[in-house]
Amino acid sequence: MKILVLNGSPRANGNTAAIAEAFSKGAKEAGHQVEVLSVGQQKIVGCMGCEYCHTKGDGTCIQKDAMQDVYRELADAEMLVLASPIYYFTLSGQLQCCIHRTYAVGIPKKLKKAAMLLSSGSDGVYGPAKQQYRQALINYMGLKDMGVITAYGSQNKSAEKLQQVYEFGKGIDR
């Protein structure tokens, strides 16, 4: 299965990168093809709501930025994994922009599954992010929910948590 991981953290070696890497390692060892895009470190601007993509662009966004890489990978992905730090009880702004911009392409035909990896400084802050995930990816897009893994505080880079995330990736069914 082709898995696309969107890392929404602006920090190259931060907590979110660590859990995304652990997931990817497990999934690759299980035979999956995994692509990790660090969208949090890219220049991706928000959707302008101009409707070019649906009126003149035939599913193509008028804005030309790093989102083009996401569109290319998303077209072939069978599973989407959102990896994000929690900022103000929700996904990073960088990942939010990326999600909003997928409006241009609609629901990719091959995409069937989704999962989420969240990191934060404290527990109990995941509710709004989980709700958005379930509303947008699971309910609206009709994807199969493969699960949500959370890590907070000292858990983020702990051997136990990274092993749990690795096993989660390794256990994703084909």
Q: Where are the domains of the chain?
A: 2-170
Distance from chain centroid for Cα 17: 12
Is residue 48 scored above 90 in pLDDT?
Answer: yes
Q: Given 3.40.50.360, 3.40.140.10, 3.40.1280.10, 3.20.20.70, which CATH number is that of 2-170?
A: 3.40.50.360
Quote the pTM value. Answer: 0.94
> What span, in angstroms and rounded, lies between the C-alpha atoms of 55 and 87?
34
Poorest-confidence range of 34-43, 49-58, 74-83? 49-58
User: Tens of pLDDT along 101-160?
Assistant: 999 999 999 999 999 999 999 888 999 899 988 988 898 899 999 999 999 998 889 999
Residue 134 identity: R
pLDDT of residue 68: 95
> Other C-beta atoms within 10 Å of 113: how many?
20
